[in-house]
Amino acid sequence: MATDRRAEVTWHGDLMSGSGRIDSVTSGAIGGLDVDWLARSEDAGSKTSPEELIAAAHASCFSMALSNGLAQAGHPADELKTSATVTFQAGEGITKIALTVTGKVPGMDDGAFQEAAETAKENCPVSKALAGVPDVSLTARLES
């Protein structure tokens, strides 16, 4: 079964001095988010950007994949905390994504957690879609 998710954006004016807005998405979960080039390429202020949305997509996809892997290994997670940082070089594109995860996983040893995290990083659908990023790093830590 295929699932579609849609987003709508409007833009006014040129790239450098113009501005846009993410008006709505399928679920209605976000909307009315302003975007512009200055916020994307220099100081974000409180504005989102494509790279921040990609960071959010990757962190959320990775977390689901890891929770699935841990449950299949017989150690469902109590809690996973993931952050993703996307590095954007204007003119070059996305050059790096750094994933860090801290997990509360009863009964699991560190080696098995590292392995499950690496598998989630390789296999989650967003990782596969972002396979062209030159450097995707992962730091995984178990919390007792």
The DSSP element (H or E) to which 40 belongs, if any, is helix 37-41
Phi, psi of 69 (to 5 degrees): -60, -40
Site string for another protein, 103-142 (x = CB under 8 A): --------------------x-xx-xxxxxx---------
Per CB under 8 A, which of residues 35..64 are in contact with another protein? 35, 37, 40-42, 44-64
Among 5, 74, 107, 144, binds another protein (CB under 8 A): 5
Site string for another protein, 71-110 (x = CB under 8 A): x----xxxxxxxxxxxxxxxxxxxx---------------
- The answer to whether the beta carbons of residues 44 and 103 sit under 8 Å apart is no
Given the complex with another protein, which of 27 and 115 has the nearer CB atom? Answer: 27
Spacing of C-alpha 60 from chain mean position: 6
CB of 95 to another protein, least distance (A): 8
CB of 79 to another protein, least distance (A): 5
